Structure 1
Amino acid sequence: MFSTLLFIFGALITFVISQECVPYSSPYDFSSGYPTIWETPTSDDFNTDEFQQVYNSIDWSQVPDIEPHQVVNGGLDRSNYPDSDPDCWWTYEQCSAPKAPGLQPDITICPEPETWGLTYDDGPNCTHNAFYDFLSENNQKATMFFIGSNVADWPNEAQRALTDGHQICVHTWSHPYMTSLSNEGVLAELYYARKAIKYVCGVTPLCWRPPYGDVDDRVRAIAQQLNLATIIWNLDTNDWDMEPVGSETPDQIDANFQSFVNMGQNGTFANSGCIVLEHEINNGTMSKAIEWYPKIKSAYQYVVPIATCMNITQPYAETNYTYPSFSEYTGTD
């Protein structure tokens, strides 16, 4: 048995979970037809007949000729990039309105006023049962950005998200800086993550979020030809950087949440809503999500997944999955 201890408003709550994070056998075989789990796809993955068919389906004349960026000391090198930001590189100055023709703008806000767009990156997490129980008990749906390698490692946990009614989107196969990859690398990260979700959950997502927000017009163009809308955020809790994994204290993360709650109370989002970056990356981030949820619900009129706030009722390529519109979800018909 595995127990998760959470302090919520001074009360100790114990969630007892069976066999969490213990590898298990499943009918899903990722030993062939996929890159190595948690490794960036390589030329071996590019040279298969399957991938070549996908590669040849892309109209590469519609993909801007942009050189990949270099990763230096764990981050992207911006030193020689033009101040004019010709490639709408989000990492440079958070550009979300593409400059290349024919590309759809990134989704960065919920158009509905006083609305918190609820999103969680980096799942499925093998310890998320208590967190998903909490969401279910509150009849709360969210948008989950799943890493393909996590889906391969934890297929039952991925399936629970769909069963519970959450929206599933792609968050790449191995969580790289996407603008640092070749065209083949970008395509493989998106394609194999989407394929893993389809294999395990039976749905083909129509949305994705770039790790670290790292996207430019070249990457957007490839994603768009895979029918993947790019979703970013306009508020970042920075929960991923919380101690002991990261460098920020829990108090600093609390201050971020509190400032966003204040925005919900002071009219900042009176005309349109926000999309907030949170993570199910570990028990610390999920505990913070649970702790702050009541205050978020109190400060914002609506807390909804991104499909709902964008009035997307069919968030997958498969038409047998229909989600409620904003008015249906919120009861504002």
Structure 2
Amino acid sequence: MDSIKSVIRQMAKGQDIEQFFKKITDSLLNHGDVQAFLNSHEDISFAAVEKSIPSLYQFVQERNQCDNCPGLERCPNVLKGYQPELIYDKASINLAFHPCPLKQRNEEMKHQSQLINSYYVPDDVLQATFQSIDTSDPRRYDALKAAGDFVKEYIEHPSKTKGLYLYGEFGVGKTYIMGAVMNRLKDKNVSSLMVYTPDFFRELKGAIQEKTLDEKLDYIKKVPVLILDDIGAETISPWIRDEIIGSILQYRMMKKLPTLYTSNYDYEELEDHFSYSQKSGTELLKAKRVMERIRHYTKLVTVKGNNRRI
């Protein structure tokens, strides 16, 4: 009892310890949650209760603080964002802690924020939703429907869903639509990655010297849903086409991971783009090999409308 009385003495702050002990004990035992716990464990002796007064005191204090929650950031509990729970183990009453609803929601939001990743993509695109897209232009209806259908099909049959290839002129909203796809997938707890291909491919060249190329390629290969934004705007080279694009698409094809694209080129124009490089001239066969991994695993949708960047 010495250690218990030491705690009680600190609580009493100059009051008569025995009277304070009885007062605090009566108060704790009259607390609704404590009563419910004791009623569910009829084998608990008063001696065990007496030894557990500090735990009961902390439990009641923190439960009362939870009832008057000041918010997660100002949580006064010993373990911020956690609620105490009474447990009976080995003839003594102890405390266990579990995250409160606010803490759970905060962790969920952190987790969801990690589901959307990007390389060189504007912030407004990453905030896009299907609700925020301007639907007044009927020329974009097919693209919006295809984007919504992709999410629905992917959630139901992830390994059987084809990717999307959004083709259209500058500024018609292709990338923004893909941002909405990412956020809808996030709501379904699906991780995705959008890459602005010209800048990302330039970064990969530097990654060779930094010895981070394999790590970056491994990540982009394995992400559940990959979006290659503005494919065809990059400066093509045999290395980019065969070792980077070809390698990524081959892996994703084998693992049945969908890849989505935006481009100013249709399939034929993108094949022409892939076929020529200043270093190696025209290589139609190699371009066709890459395009086979795009054509047969995506749905081509033309996006029309006014240039919204003007």
Note whether the superposition's TM-score is higher than 0.5.
no
User: Relative contact order, CA 8 A, sep 6+: which one is greater?
Assistant: 1
Instruction: Name the TM-score class by shorter chain.
Output: under 0.3
TM-score, structure 2 as length reference:
0.26
Question: Relative to total residues, which structure has the larger helix share, 1 or 2?
Answer: 2
Query: Larger radius of gyration, structure 1 or 2?
Result: 2
TM-score, structure 1 as length reference:
0.25
